[in-house]
Structure 1
Amino acid sequence: MGSIESYFTASGKRYRVLYRRPDHRQTQKRGFRTKKDAELYLSAVEIKKATGEYIDATASKATIATLGADWLASRTHLKPSSLHPVEIAWRRYVLPTWGLRQVGEIRHSDVQIWISRLVVGRSATTVLRIYGVLAAILDVAVKDRRIPSNPARGVTLPRKTKGQHACLSHRQVALLAQNSRQQSTLILLLAYTGLRWGEATALRIRDVDTVRRRIRVHENAVNVGGTIHVGTPKTHQARAVPYPGFLNPLFAELMQASAGTARGRDELLFGNGRDHMRSPDTRRGWFVSAVRKAQAADAAFPNLTLHDLRHTAASLAISAGANVKAIQRMLGHASAAMTLDTYADLFDDDLDLVADALDDARVLSID
């Protein structure tokens, strides 16, 4: 237990509380006008120490700039492609606004006002990422017993709206591939396997099994700030992806050198064999040009991105009768729940099949 001592000031008699913090270092709190107030404070301190709720006033003076730098340095588990947007959110939005603020003085209303300003002119995804950085830093402050609770939790946040997936038909895929010229095989691969751009451009010749028609996906090449980083796939799990037989002769062409000899098994399947292909310019690149040419030939051809070819692969596989688990394995989703959450609208036809099957079963049982 601590102790209480009296002392005199120019304003009269005052009391101080002497006690030990959980780390056993001596500290004190001065300025109590009555001994009863000092006793109540000491009792509250002892209860908080016993229940693990004690907050050191000195620790709560740490700034977001200091804690944020430590938090960012601890994100070593993130892939470069995931860490990059987090660093941008920290540098551009969190640090300028909150850097000099002490964690103990941040209020829930302060965070809510900040969020209300951020939503103007920014997408929900961007706002949620920025908010997530501040909230995560304050979560650590709570665990370190700098503050009793996280003032960022519970604020009203913008909701992400689920956009409509742009999916192509078999005929539209063929039209896009035709207009992609040298990259036609790459387009077909993306549209019929659902590989991410980085997974496809990281493929080496040895990763393609033309006998079993399987592609071994175990690397991902991502452009982060102009530098290609090669690592594991998004879920850190390697997977085998099937592909349709019509791709075999196209792969065979890619595996042949200009003189007709076989290329090395360690060479990259696409590009020059040595350097990973970079994604095309989103305004003037070959993919945008191919889409425009396809739209000129087909009025129903949608606007789409390279990533929409992944959605196309899911759509074509579902329409061909593939089940959720098969789609999950093909796309490399962490769970079937994630697949359903992403492509639930594409499985709507299954509901009709269930209803029809129940209808038929009822008729047969009654007859």
Structure 2
Amino acid sequence: MDVAGYPIRIHPPTASRPYHQIVYRVDGERRVTSGGRTIKTAMDKAATIAARLAADADQARHTVSEFLDAWEDPDRPRPSPWSPKHAAGVRWVLAKRVRPAIGHLTCQELRRRDIQRVVDSAPTPGEGARVRRVLGTALRWGHRHGYLVTAPDRLIGDVHWSGQREVLAHEQGTDPLWVPPDEIPSHNDVAELYKAMAGLCRKGEPTPLAVLVAAYSGVRLGELRALRGSDVDTRRRLIRVTRQVTEVDGVPTPGSPKGRKVRTTVYPPTTPGGIKLSALIVRRARAAGSGLMFPAPRGGFWSATNFYSRRFHPAADAAGWPRAESGRLLWTWHDLRHVFASHYLWDLGATPADVSTAAGHSTVDITLRIYGTRQAGALDRLGALG
């Protein structure tokens, strides 16, 4: 029979083959695929094949690597352009996990077991989920554009990382994301880091101020590296976060902030340690103008590697920040964000919703899970009720 004007044949099931068979030709080459048990299923699938043929989109003879090249192509039409960081992450996943395992296969040879093998090659559940997300997006695009004969849900729908995992118990009343208050730097620890970094820098270098801005406005390091003087409203003590710097192939590159969500956060006139933060920010923002608030010593963006090795780690050691037996710092730069959130939540009594908005958390639930899942004295309070 003809389907949508194309010579596509549907053969009925036989005693030895309980499924319909769909037979068609592409560029003179005979193709055969299963059509399912019912004639309706077979007709629906034949119509899908005809639509792909009509669009001249049957690309199933290409290799998986060629299909991925087309999907990665920055010039192909897409709803919104990939950020440099996202593009670099996709390239890494494809180069390290996908292409070595299945890049040589033709698209029409691709099977669920091949996808499972790729996902299981990841060393951790989180990395496996990342590989699965990238593959899922690629497969859906490939099916729409004729590279894949098999529907993406059949290829990846039931595929999940199946390596060895260790399930760790945590104490009742806490959450795996919870950060205990005694694991957050104190206000004195922040002040010591600020002073130590000032001692490492040349006179006039603004980098030490970044310590206080991170600790009392919650701006992430990548956002601080991209922050301009014009992003600061010194009259209202507001900071507008509109971009961040990430490393793309080792090069500091500005782009959209995390989650592509701009936000506004606040900072206090004076830190709990008595440092006049507002006055320092006013002076620096005026000097920076539309330029960077915290440029590298030679101008331009700090690279993350240089910032940590030349400023943060030496300053943390000079400030007496603790290290584990392995030599790793127990507090990281990111812990300064914990100072901000816990200070506003517990010291100043701000609502979780307001702190979540200023910190740039995806939901207020994340804020509560990190900072509000357990309060000291729960057993004492319950005991007092009896």
Q: Would the aligned equivalents of 1:63 and 1:100 in 2 still touch at CA under 8 Å?
A: yes
| SS of residue matched to 1:211 | coil
Q: Decide which moves more: 266-275 or 36-45.
A: 36-45
**Structure 1 residues 183-262: aligned runs within 5 Å:** 183-246=207-270, 247-255=277-285
Tell me what 1:10 maps to: none
Tell me what 1:69 maps to: 69
Q: Would the aligned equivalents of 2:132 and 2:160 in 1 still touch at CA under 8 Å?
A: no
| SS of residue matched to 1:51 | helix
Distance 1:212 1:188 in 2: 17
Q: 1:293 to 1:346 in 2, by over 3 A?
A: farther
Q: Would the aligned equivalents of 2:178 and 2:372 in 1 still touch at CA under 8 Å?
A: no
Tell me what 2:335 maps to: 308
Letter in 1 for 2:71: W
2:355 matched to 1:331?
Answer: no
Q: 1:174 to 1:39 in 2, by over 3 A?
A: closer
Q: 1:209 to 1:273 in 2, by over 3 A?
A: farther
| SS of residue matched to 2:306 | coil
Q: How many equivalent residue pairs?
A: 329
Q: Would the aligned equivalents of 1:220 and 1:232 in 2 still touch at CA under 8 Å?
A: yes
Specify every segment of 5 or more residues in structure 2 that has no aligned partner in the other structure, as ranges. Answer: 23-34, 51-57, 169-175, 202-206, 271-276
Q: Decide which moves more: 91-100 or 278-287.
A: 278-287
**Structure 1 residues 1-367: aligned runs within 5 Å:** 2=1, 19-20=2-3, 22=4, 24-28=5-9, 41=21, 47-48=40-41, 50-52=43-45, 56=49, 60-73=60-73, 77-116=81-120, 118-119=121-122, 122-143=123-144, 146-148=149-151, 149-157=153-161, 162=176, 165=179, 167-181=184-198, 182=201, 183-246=207-270, 247-255=277-285, 263=287, 265-271=289-295, 275-281=300-306, 284-295=309-320, 303-320=330-347, 321-341=349-369, 343=370, 345-349=371-375, 352=378
Distance 1:307 1:141 in 2: 39
Distance 1:34 1:137 in 2: 36
Letter in 1 for 2:112: H
| SS of residue matched to 1:223 | strand
Q: 1:340 to 1:107 in 2, by over 3 A?
A: farther
CA distances 1:264-296 after superposition (whole Å, capped 9, x unpaired): 621222236962333243773321112223336
| SS of residue matched to 1:175 | helix
Distance 2:72 2:41 in 1: 30
Q: How many Å apart are 1:178 and its aligned residue?
A: 1.8
Distance 1:276 1:146 in 2: 46
Q: Would the aligned equivalents of 1:65 and 1:95 in 2 still touch at CA under 8 Å?
A: yes
Distance 1:252 1:346 in 2: 33
Q: 1:40 to 1:179 in 2, by over 3 A?
A: closer
Distance 1:41 1:325 in 2: 57
Q: How many Å apart are 1:46 and its aligned residue?
A: 5.4
Letter in 2 for 1:329: T
Distance 1:143 1:351 in 2: 57
Q: 1:39 to 1:186 in 2, by over 3 A?
A: closer
| SS of residue matched to 1:129 | helix
Q: How many Å apart are 1:222 and its aligned residue?
A: 2.6
Q: Would the aligned equivalents of 1:48 and 1:54 in 2 still touch at CA under 8 Å?
A: no
Distance 2:245 2:317 in 1: 27
Distance 1:37 1:253 in 2: 81
Distance 2:10 2:42 in 1: 15
| SS of residue matched to 2:230 | helix
Distance 2:269 2:48 in 1: 65
Q: Would the aligned equivalents of 1:254 and 1:270 in 2 still touch at CA under 8 Å?
A: no
Q: 1:56 to 1:250 in 2, by over 3 A?
A: same
Compute the TM-score of the two structures, normalised by the length of structure 2: 0.69
Identity of aligned residues (%): 23
RMSD between aligned residues: 4.1
Q: Would the aligned equivalents of 2:243 and 2:255 in 1 still touch at CA under 8 Å?
A: yes
Structure possessing the higher radius of gyration over alpha carbons: 1
Q: 1:305 to 1:34 in 2, by over 3 A?
A: closer
Q: Decide which moves more: 178-187 or 289-298.
A: 289-298
Q: Would the aligned equivalents of 2:252 and 2:302 in 1 still touch at CA under 8 Å?
A: no
Q: How many Å apart are 1:81 and its aligned residue?
A: 1.5
Distance 1:188 1:253 in 2: 14
Distance 2:138 2:324 in 1: 50
CA distances 1:280-320 after superposition (whole Å, capped 9, x unpaired): 43773321112223336899995233233223322332222
Q: Would the aligned equivalents of 2:71 and 2:142 in 1 still touch at CA under 8 Å?
A: no
